[in-house]
Amino acid sequence: MMERENEVQGFWEALELLISESELVIDRPRGSTHPHYPVLVYPLDYGYLKGTISMDGGGIDVWSGTLTTRKLDTVLLTVDLFKHDAEINLLIGCSDQEKRTVLDFSNNQSMRATLIRRDGGLAWLQSRRSVRHFLPKPVPDDLLYQILETAAWAPSAHNSQPWRFVVLKSPGSRRKLIDAMGAEYRKDLRSDGLPDEEAEQRLNRSRERITSAPAAILLCLDPSRGDSYPDPVRQNAEYLAAHAVGLAGFWMCAPLFSPSAIRHSLDLPGDWHPVALILLGYPDGWPEPRPRLPLNEVVRLV
């Protein structure tokens, strides 16, 4: 383990040394266009390290972000099937949003790209957010399947795998879900003593969120598969799988409160118990992190 850590640290330190010894030349500033493909507009300052050599014979490519800390914590690896070329790009001083932008920019027609993060996980994990506003861009089915496949690798008691996923593909199925949940939700809000007007506002907000999200997955549990709980492990697996492919979303617990109505309206098997609705899409903005309790409040050594 230690050997692996040293190896990883050595790699990043070597890159830092190269950066410190080289002059950064920004020859394609943010907003400028690609010299051969004018439709490509550089979303960030792009340049190279003078005096270095990369696979295409030019200097090592650098994306330079807007952060004042000029930290190198991520590299982008690209494969260009048109040029038959593979490259490493250094991302210096880039925010999470900027990294995402560079990744999107670099995944174009003939090119495929992936980000490699220095800390391997923690910062990446911490950069996940519950996102409730999405770009009007469909989520490809293969990404959805990739997310569900990852979620299905979560551990379960006796490997009972009690999760069931209902992907709400048609507007009709979302409408049925909204109607089924809405009736119960309205009743609950009334019995909570919420004024009708406020209750309607909340219902409308939920309705709007569910209809406008590019993808919606109803998570069900099948208790006949053994003891089961809506466990955070699986929920996190799903969130993180979405995060890993550039999507984001949030968990709505509303289905917990009207399981039979939902089961009936979507004609689900009797032993599928709806527990959550997960809305997914490409994020439109990135919320500020929600604070977490300090560890000493949530950990006890016994």
Ligand X SMILES: Cc1cc2nc3c(=O)[nH]c(=O)nc-3n(C[C@H](O)[C@H](O)[C@H](O)COP(=O)(O)O)c2cc1C
Q: How far is the CB of 90 from ligand X (least distance, A)?
A: 29
Number of residues that bind ligand X (CB under 6 A): 9
Residue whose CB is less far from ligand X, 2 or 295: 295
* Binding flags for ligand X, 197-236, as an x/- string (CB under 6 A): --------------------------------------x-
Q: How far is the CB of 10 from ligand X (least distance, A)?
A: 33
Residue whose CB is less far from ligand X, 36 or 292: 292
Give the CB-nearest residue to ligand X.
Answer: 130
Residue whose CB is less far from ligand X, 33 or 130: 130
* Binding flags for ligand X, 110-149, as an x/- string (CB under 6 A): -------------------xx-------------------
* CB neighbour list of residue 89: distance below 8 Å, 6 or more residues apart: 60, 61, 62, 63, 75, 76, 77, 78, 102, 106
Q: How far is the CB of 8 from ligand X (least distance, A)?
A: 27
**Pairing, β 72-80 against β 163-167:** unpaired
Task: Please give the Cα distance from 273 to 257 (Å, whole number).
Answer: 11
Residue whose CB is less far from ligand X, 32 or 127: 127
- How many Cβ atoms sit within 10 Å of the Cβ of residue 33? 12
What interhelical angle do 141-151 and 232-244 show, nearest 10?
A: 150
Q: Does the protein bind ligand X through residue 290 (CB under 6 A)?
A: yes
Continuous H helices in the chain: 2-21, 96-106, 122-126, 141-151, 171-191, 196-212, 232-244, 259-265, 295-298
Q: Which parts of 245-264 interact with ligand X (CB under 6 A)?
A: 250-254
Q: Distances from the Cα of 68 to the Cαs of 42, 72, 94, 242, in angstroms?
A: 20, 12, 9, 29
Q: How far is the CB of 209 from ligand X (least distance, A)?
A: 8
- Asked whether the beta carbons of 219 and 239 are under 8 A apart, the reply is no
Binding site for ligand X (CB under 6 A): 129-130, 235, 250-254, 290
